[in-house]
Structure 1
Amino acid sequence: MAVNIAGLVSVILFYLLILGIGIFAARRAAKATTTDVLVAGRQMGMIVSFFTLTATQVGGAYINGTAEIMASSGLVWAQAPIGYCISMIIAGNVYAPRMRRAGYVTLFDPFQKKLGNKVGTLMCFPQFLGDIFWTAAILSALGSTVSIILEIDRTISIISSACIAIFYTLLGGLWSVAYTDVVQLICIAIGLVVAVPFALTHESVDLHRIDDTWKGEVQTAHIGLYIDVCFLLLFGGIPWQEYFQRALACKTVNRARISSVVGSFGMILFAIPSALMGVAGSAADWNQTAYNGTIPLPAEKMSYILPLVLQYLCPLPVSIIGMGAIAAAVMSSADSSILSSASVFTKNIYVQLIRTKASDREVMWVLRVAVIVSGAMGTALALSAKSVYGLYVLCGDLMYVILFPQFTCVLFLEVTNGYGSVVGFFLSCILRVLGGEPYLDLKPILKYPFYTEEFGQNFPFRTLTMICSFIAIISVSKLTEVLFKGQYLPLKLDVLGCADPDHRTRLRLPSDDRKEHEMQELNPPVPYEHKSMSDSLLRKGQ
């Protein structure tokens, strides 16, 4: 197998460019505090915030997955772009303003403040595991893509990509991630836009072949699954640390809101060339190309439809540019998930549970070690596991069925307490596991209506599980509050202190956030309808 020298040199140059920008951005964090690294000192400008918020979803899985679903199932099943677009609009206008006004640093700060450190930490694990598996899945996808286009060993590409992402994230934290996101998104746009005309006009591509199939269809038996996926994307896309890390870094609440809305539409634009590449792949007669694999393309090859189109339907220079686009997408996802999992471990596990009196310098070193460990774990999984994507899918489900109801209740429902959250957490886990997961060969124990052996669960059981979690959190919280406050149960049994909210350990903020937090205690945020006044209070607090 001959190595594609020209492509290899181009990818090396691209990696050097990204590394250089990451190092340059790290200069802003040369004398960084924890806040500087985690949320860029809350000084992120409009342009950078727009790019980096767009990049929270526009990664390797997003562009590869959009092409794959268009080629295999048609437009009607390409739900992710629209679903995540609406999800970010909701997050930016409903959830992020309250988080930003409260001065939180991570997604899980409100959990630990309201529920206590131990219960709040329990909620970190679905996100933490999801980030690790996500890192592994996208690095693994990059390795397969590089092996197709450049014909080099996937292990080398995985390790080298991970090392570069870890290195600049280690140096500059969110500043490096945000600045490299700008360049990476530009590379993605150029690479895919340039490739689309060549792919669609290749002699093997006849769009008439897919006149009846490009739209796709939702069969009656799959309506429940379709609804389930729609809601999973709409609401499961909200409680992600990667998004809130960027939203909380914006200078003002309004800037976070505007950047989220603009970024959501940016995600739609980036999905268009990916979808067109998938159309080209499904309309191609692969017998007329240099492709020598199984024809028609088997189902397991559909996940590689984008690199296959770049390799066999585009000229070599164009395929190399497209390879840069995929590498850029993967890097923008990998650095985000590495920093996200490291931030959650450092802020919400180490500082809140292990070393509550840790100095800022100590926290910085723990964060750096966590970045290395997080990246190493994702890389090891990418090299060894065969079902990483399935694990990530399951974690994505858990974000929807567990974290969305928990996050919503903690932020907006005063009645929520630790007892309701714990019951809701384990109820969600149990019901989700009982529903089965084909990616993990996990057979369903609880078979919902319309279940068939051929298609599995055809009932929106994930959404039902999420609703059950909401009901459990609210009802158990209210019940325990009545039992303890009404003294139907002795207060000594109130181990989580729901009857005495003062039991909770004060949320330890990084040193740069303490003044802002104290100011907000002296000047509590006004209700949401008075937006201009609340924004004024925020600026005074800073």
Structure 2
Amino acid sequence: MSSNNIVPLAIIIFFISSLVLVGHIASKKINSAEDYLVANRGAPLFLVVGTVFATFWGGGTIIGGSGSAFQDGLYGVIEDPFAAGLSLIIIGLFFVKTLRKLKINSVGEIYTHRFGTTTGYVASAVMIPTFVIWTAVQLLAVGKIFTVLFEFNFYLSYMIALIVIVLFTYMGGLLAVIWTDFIQMIVIFIGLILLLVIGYTAAGGLEEIVLHTPDNFWQFIPSEKGLMPWITYISMWAGMALGNVSSPDIAQRALMAKDGKTAQKGMIISGSLYWIFGFIPVFLALIAHTLISTGVLDGNLFAQDSELLIPYLAKELLNPVLLGIFISSLIGAILSSASTSLFATAVIFSNDIIYPLFFKNKKEEATDKNHLLKITRYCVILTGVLAALVGLMSSNIYDMTVFAFTLQFGVLFFPFIVALKTRWATSYGVIAGMLGGLLVNVIGGAMQGAIIPEPWEFFTLVPPLVNITLIVLVSFFTKKSDQSKPLEDLYFTK
């Protein structure tokens, strides 16, 4: 390791240690399962905005997004950040107030109380793959950063990231996650603006950047004629914009807010910020094109993997102190997303599957002994291990990010809508829809021997169509035998 790496590494170690310390402090304030799972439902607006933005703004957006923008321009990043940012606004406008009125600890409980325990188990089980994949994405991002910048062994970096994420999430639960998210959001802003300003200067200013902008870089709609380009375009928006709507991590942010109005404002503000700051990786990709064209940066460094653009750009342009600050902001963004997805998955395992299965008839005893709290902490570790294994099966960060939520779109978007907004759907219909949507992806992946089946447009749009078709048809034929309950009869506060 070069002596030039000592200063940035020291800054990064200090930053990561601070996050672990926050987790330790938060753990002292955990007195119940509700404290751990939903932060005692008292978060103010600034914490809601901080945690939602930092949750979305992870390795897929910064590392993956800059690489995709470098290759394909603005058109290459429609899914994330633009479709993803739209999802936050949709959630804020149409769903978050309803969620905040429910006395639940996780989104899985909606399916349980609306359609019965079997539906709740199935819904919770099919949520897990999305968030295990998303956690894996963040671990991959950390591995790539440390490998490029400090010549660390990739697998060592990968394991260090895993241990840190599991450690502070295990200790402080959602309370630790939202406070570290808020801190990380501030550091993210500082780091990205820092690299953008220095990169802009190094590139020679606006005239040079415009001169070296690739043709069609700012294309935002299909330029080719025919139906297929528009099917692709619709798939790009639908997978991320609608796939995020039913996300359990977003529901947790609604549940933790002090009231429905705070939750709604937080989502809309976060989505707007996500769009604004989403242009930064795009501009950094433009700066990289300019620096390569003028001979300042060697394009061969990331010719095989464009997702290494940001680490190489930072290494080339920043002095050791600024490099340490920027990489800390980058690591902070990644850890924020990782801890959120890790925690959301752990809550699904514990609150929606293990706890009701094993303590269904012992609720009072389990509550007294705080079994739910202990189970969730163990599930944090379990989820971390699963994510680590999945991450080693694929190395493309951006594609894995998009696929994770595309999978959720095909399986859970329509069940989430009918659970919250309708009375006609039955438990049989919802189960058939979820399993049908999932089965399309499973068959595609099995036939191709890949996590992400192709053509991706087919596996974005067909699963949700199968899903809603089965929900409607099976619900129609099972209406008389169904015992599902209206949501308002269950958990609305008075």
Q: What TM-score, normalized by structure 2, do the two folds share?
A: 0.89
Relative distance call for 1:238 and 1:327 in structure 2 (3 A) is: same
Contact 1:387 1:440 in 2 (8 A): no
- Counterpart for residue 97 of structure 2: 97
Worse overlay, 63-72 or 278-287: 278-287
SS in 1 for 2:300: coil
Q: Structure 1's 85 and 353: CA in aligned 2 closer, same or farther, altered over 3 A?
A: same
Closer, same or farther in 2 for the Cα pair 1:85/1:395, shift >3 Å?
closer
CA distance in structure 1 between the partners assigned to 2:85 and 2:12 by the alignment:
30
Q: Give the whole-Å Cα distance in 2 for the aligned partners of 1:443 and 1:280.
A: 31
Instruction: Choose the corresponding residue for 1:429, options 425, 438, 444.
Output: 438
Question: Secondary structure at the residue paired with 1:239?
Answer: coil
Specify whether residues 117 and 212 from structure 1 end up closer, same or farther in structure 2 by C-alpha distance, changes over 3 A only: same
Match of 2:350 in 1: 346
Aligned match of 1:510:
none
Which stretch of structure 1 is more off in the superposition, 4-13 or 217-226? 217-226
Amino acid at match of 1:106: S
Residue 252 of structure 2 is matched in structure 1 by 245
Q: Is the contact between residue 116 and residue 484 of structure 2 (CA under 8 Å) also seen in structure 1?
A: no
Confirm or deny that 1:462 pairs with 2:469: no
Which of 297, 300, 323 in structure 2 is aligned with 1:294?
Answer: 300
Verify the 8 A CA contact 2:239 2:402 in the aligned structure 1: no
Cα distance in 1 for residues equivalent to 2:451 and 2:55: 30
Amino acid in the other structure paired with 1:97 = K
Q: What percentage of residue pairs aligned between the two structures are identical?
A: 21
1:436-469 per-residue CA deviation (whole Å, 9 max, x = no partner) reads 699964897xxxxxxxxxxx64866622431332
More displaced stretch, 342-351 vs 196-205: 196-205
Which of 269, 286, 292 matches 1:285?
Answer: 292
Measured in 1, the distance between the counterparts of 2:324 and 2:448 equals: 32
Which amino acid counterpart does residue 418 of structure 1 have in structure 2?
S
1:386 partnered with 2:376:
no
Residue in structure 1 matched with residue 474 of structure 2 by the alignment: 476
Shift of 1:434: 5.4
Q: Measure how far apart 1:408 and its partner are.
A: 0.8
Shift of residue 433, structure 1, vs aligned partner: 4.6
What is the CA deviation profile of residues 65-117 of structure 1, one whole-angstrom value per residue up to 9, with x for unaligned ones? Answer: 22122211111332122212221121122222222212122111111112211
Q: Does residue 62 of the first structure (1) align with residue 76 of the second (2)? A: no
State how far apart, in whole Å, the 1-side matches of 2:284 and 2:449 are. 29
Distance 1:232 1:259 in 2: 23
Query: Partner amino acid for 2:412?
Result: L
Per-residue deviation at 1:186?
0.9
Segments of structure 1 that go 5 or more residues without pairing to the other structure are 445-455, 485-497, 508-519, 526-537
The structure number with the bigger radius of gyration is 1
* Inter-partner Cα distance in structure 1 for 2:170 and 2:318: 37
- In structure 2, what is the equivalent of residue 17 of structure 1? 18
| Distance (Å, rounded) in 2 between the aligned partners of 1:117 and 1:211 | 54
Q: Pick one of 233, 237, 240 that aligns with 1:233.
A: 240
Equivalent residue runs for 1:65-214 within 5 Å: 65-79=64-78, 80-202=80-202, 206-207=208-209, 208-214=211-217
Matches within 5 A, 1:393-412: 393-412=402-421
Q: 1:334 maps to what in 2?
A: 338
Q: Which residue of 1 aligns with 2:261?
A: 254
How much does 1:242 deviate? 1.1
Q: For CA contacts below 8 A with separation 6 or more, give which structure has more relative contact order.
A: 2
Q: How far did 1:10 drift?
A: 1.3
Within 2, Cα distance between the matches of 1:263 and 1:391? 23
Contact 1:235 1:400 in 2 (8 A): yes
Deviation at 1:20, TM superposition (A): 2.1
Q: Find the aligned partners of 1:462 and 1:275 in 2 and give their Cα distance.
A: 24
Paired position in structure 1 for 2:321: 317
CA distance in 2, matches of 1:433, 1:378: 18
Aligned length: 479
**C-alpha spacing 1:437/1:255, structure 2 compared with 1 (3 Å):** farther
CA pair 475-33 structure 1, distance change in 2 beyond 3 A: same
Aligned equivalents of 2:329 and 2:10: distance in 1? Answer: 15
Tell me how far apart the structure 1 counterparts of residues 40 and 322 of structure 2 sit (CA, whole Å): 39
Q: Provide the rounded CA distance (Å) in 1 between the counterparts of 2:195 and 2:449.
A: 35
> What whole-Å deviation, never above 9, does each CA across 1:124-146 have from its counterpart, x for those lacking one?
22321222222122111111111
User: 1:203 Cα deviation (Å)?
Assistant: 5.2
Distance in 2 (CA, whole Å) between partners of 1:230 and 1:404 is: 14
The equivalent residue for 2:36 is: 37
Q: Which runs of 5+ in 2 are unaligned?
A: none
- Provide the C-alpha distance between the structure 1 equivalents of 2:44 and 2:16, rounded to a whole number of angstroms: 25
Structure 1 residues 24 and 270: alpha-carbon distance in aligned structure 2, compared to 1, 3 A threshold: farther
1:376 equivalent to 2:382? Answer no
| Partner SS state of residue 233, structure 1 | helix
SS for the counterpart of 1:131 is helix
Q: Any idea what the Cα deviations from partners look like across 1:26-48, whole Å, max 9, x if unmatched?
A: 3322xx21111100111111211
Residue in 2 aligned with 1:5? 6
Counterpart amino acid of residue 430 in structure 2: S
Contact 2:400 2:452 in 1 (8 A): no
1:415 shift after superposition:
1.4
Give the AA of the match of 1:234.
Answer: A
Preserved CA contact (<8 Å) 2:426 2:484: no
Pair 1:286–1:155, CA change in 2 (3 A): farther
Assess, with a 3 A threshold, how the Cα gap between structure 1 residues 249 and 320 changes in structure 2: closer, same or farther: same
Displacement after TM superposition at 1:248 (Å): 0.6
Cα deviation, residue 229, structure 1: 1.2
1:82 and 1:71 map into 2 onto residues whose CA distance is 16
The answer as to whether partners of 2:82 and 2:278 remain within 8 angstroms in 1 is no
Any idea what the Cα deviations from partners look like across 1:508-533, whole Å, max 9, x if unmatched? xxxxxxxxxxxx869x85xxxxxxxx
2:371 is the counterpart of 1:362: yes
Q: For residues 329 and 140 of structure 2, what CA distance do their matches in structure 1 show?
A: 16
Partner amino acid for 1:371? V
Whether the 8 Å CA contact 2:33–2:373 is kept in 1: the answer is yes
Whole-angstrom CA distance in 2 between matches of 1:105 and 1:458: 34
| 1:352 CA drift (Å) | 1.7
The 1:387/1:474 distance shift into structure 2, 3 A limit, reads same
> 2-side partners of 1:352 and 1:121: how far apart?
9
Distance 1:379 1:28 in 2: 29
Find the aligned partners of 2:312 and 2:265 in 1 and give their Cα distance: 37
Deviates most, 227-236 or 164-173 = 164-173
CA distance in 2, matches of 1:211, 1:306: 18
Within 5 Å, give how 1:483-522 maps onto structure 2. Answer: 484=481, 498=482, 500-501=483-484
